[in-house]
Chain A
Amino acid sequence: MALILLVDDDKNFTQATGELLRMLGHEVTVADNLAEAGTALFKQRFDILLLDLMLPDGSGFQVLENIPESQRPTHITIITGNSAVKSLVKKVMGPNISYLIKPIDLEQLQTLINRIEMKHAPGGQTEKHFNVLIGESPAMHKLYQMIRRVAATKANVLLQGESGVGKELVANAIHQASNCTGAFVAWNCGAASRELIGSELFGHEKGAFTGAIARKQGLFEQADGGTLFLDEITEMPIDMQPNLLRVLETQKVTRLGGAQEISVNCRVISATNRTTEQLAEEECLREDIYFRLAVFPIAIPPLRERPGDIELLAKSFLHELNLQNDCNLSLSRESLHRLTQYDWPGNVRELRHAIHRAFIMSDPESSELVLPTELASPFARERKKTQGLIPGKTIEEVERELITLTLEQVDGDKPRAAEMLGVSLKTLYNRLNNYEKQLQDEVER
């Protein structure tokens, strides 16, 4: 069974096609226009989007605008009268698209859905908790439990976790688990200039300020009945925070330049990469607003604390890339071992990036993904360098780290590295051979 969203303005067509698909055992939602399609896409993640490009309130191309990555349908099918549209669509929406050419018959529909279902079946898709989160480690299961608990309430949530742990996905998971009717609206508090923050959050009336050429709904209004996700909450200037506090306390917004108070009812999920101690020390968040936002604080574990999930995540990212690009690459045991050995200071985002980078570099005709010799991103390397010496490390570990860092610095030029380290080239080779042997032993074990 597939979850299908059918977007077309021709009611005689959607009624019949909807019924036809339901009779074939699928679950179908119908949208007559872009706005309805947008609402449906925010509410749930569909397997297939059947899309007409000509809609009364715009072009079908616009339907995925503003839809977060986690809510995008797995497969998109364009309903078109003309096969010439294919090359244009590919440019705009990427390669993972299929077509139904009008007039559509049952055979066309069945072939398409069978093909999509077959394509998505192999290897058993990794289970996504709340449709978005991947991971079976104890740390993640604890997180899922917290998500379920808070979803049953109306409490505001503060998500804390390092950069790249997936704070927006967790926010989305809470939204999904809440069974609310409104939309999930995400916003980064560092993304707007301070003059625009008020207008973004609360909206404005026409003529409220120079350039306010039309009335605008604020984020609170857009998220009414749903969830407003405020990322990097500490980036909001401290003197702007009382305005936010007022809305949190009264659940009413007044658009800039407006006189009327509008009731809003949404859960606010905010996020920061600072710990509670840092929040208190750095004074980047007012205490009163902290208590309003962090009714239910949730700490998201960094990837290095759940190494067991690295394999699941890596395979899932690779699976997605394979689908998008019609490839069939897999990860060897050795590659998986290397991935789990690395500590991922950039967390899941860094892992995703590493897989994507390796995917681009791999030969699409081959069957195995080739990881780069150095996994760390330039940013991670910077952090590693400043880590310095930590008591408790063995001399051997420090030596290995120094050799690795030096080799990185000189782009693998071994004679130069040996010179910098003050050892003979032979000694350097001996050490490197030892490390390789150790790695192989670990893999075999």
Chain B
Amino acid sequence: MNTPQDQLAYVAHQLRNPLNTISVNAELARLQLQKQQDPNDVLMSLERILQECKRCAALINELSPPT
């Protein structure tokens, strides 16, 4: 991982998984709300989205340390 391009490719690759989880959990939260499910279930889905957002941030920080 020497060149900036290599780093970019690595992060792009690594970001797909958390993004995927965010996407699926967002879809789930929407469906849970539509079907008026227990608000705690919706909160769980949102919690997972937040966790994954943190994972994304950590990956980006690997590329450029926070200023």
Interface string of B25-55 (1 = CB under 8 A from A): 1011011100100000000010010011000
Residues of B close to A142: CB separation below 8 A: none
Do the beta carbons of B52 and A103 come within 8 Å of each other?
Answer: no
In the complex formed, the residue of B with least CB distance to A23 is B31
Supply 7 further A-B pairs (C-beta < 8 A) apart from A10-B21, A103-B19.
A12-B51, A12-B52, A23-B35, A102-B20, A104-B20, A105-B27, A106-B31
Residues of A close to B45: CB separation below 8 A: 16
Find A20's partner among B17, B20, B24, B51 (CB 8 Å cutoff): B24
Q: Is A433 an interface residue (CB 8 A)?
A: no
A102 to chain B, nearest CB (A): 4
In the complex formed, the residue of A with least CB distance to B41 is A19
Chain A at the B interface: SS class: helix
Bin the interface of chain B by size. 20 to 34
In the complex formed, the residue of B with least CB distance to A106 is B27
Q: Is A13 an interface residue (CB 8 A)?
A: yes
Chain A contacts with B in 3-56, Cβ cutoff 8 A: 10, 12-13, 15-17, 19-20, 23
* Chain A residues in the interface with B (C-beta under 8 A): 10, 12-13, 15-17, 19-20, 23, 81, 102-106
B5 to chain A, nearest CB (A): 17
Q: How far is the CA of A20 from the CA of B31 in the complex (A)?
A: 8
Number of A-B contacts (CB under 8 A): 54
| Interface CB pairs A-B, < 8 A, 9 | A12-B21, A13-B20, A16-B28, A17-B24, A20-B28, A81-B16, A102-B19, A102-B23, A106-B27
Do the beta carbons of B16 and A102 come within 8 Å of each other?
Answer: yes
Q: How far is the CA of A248 from the CA of B30 in the complex (A)?
A: 56
In the complex formed, the residue of B with least CB distance to A17 is B24
A13 to chain B, nearest CB (A): 4
Do the beta carbons of B23 and A104 come within 8 Å of each other?
Answer: yes
Find B21's partner among A16, A23, A81 (CB 8 Å cutoff): A16
A52 to chain B, nearest CB (A): 9
Q: Given the known inter-chain contacts A12-B51, A12-B52, please indicate yes or no for A103 contacting B28, CB distance below 8 A.
A: no
Could you say which of B13, B19, B28, B48 has the most chain A C-beta atoms within 10 Å of its C-beta? B28
B16 to chain A, nearest CB (A): 4
Q: Given the known inter-chain contacts A81-B13, A106-B31, please indicate yes or no for A16 contacting B48, CB distance below 8 A.
A: yes
Q: How far is the CA of A17 from the CA of B27 in the complex (A)?
A: 9
B46 to chain A, nearest CB (A): 11
Q: How far is the CA of A164 from the CA of B45 in the complex (A)?
A: 52
A32 to chain B, nearest CB (A): 14
Residues of B close to A16: CB separation below 8 A: 21, 24-25, 27-28, 45, 48
Q: How far is the CA of A81 from the CA of B32 in the complex (A)?
A: 26
Residues of A close to B22: CB separation below 8 A: 103
A315 to chain B, nearest CB (A): 39
Q: How far is the CA of A41 from the CA of B25 in the complex (A)?
A: 26
Residues of A close to B28: CB separation below 8 A: 16, 19-20, 23
Q: How far is the CA of A234 from the CA of B22 in the complex (A)?
A: 57
Residues of B close to A106: CB separation below 8 A: 27, 30-31
Do the beta carbons of B48 and A102 come within 8 Å of each other?
Answer: no
Residues of A close to B48: CB separation below 8 A: 12, 15-16
In the complex formed, the residue of A with least CB distance to B52 is A12
Interface string of B4-22 (1 = CB under 8 A from A): 0000000001001101111
A106 to chain B, nearest CB (A): 4
Do the beta carbons of A103 and B35 come within 8 Å of each other?
Answer: no
Residues of B close to A102: CB separation below 8 A: 16-17, 19-20, 23
Residues of A close to B30: CB separation below 8 A: 106
Q: How far is the CA of A188 from the CA of B51 in the complex (A)?
A: 50
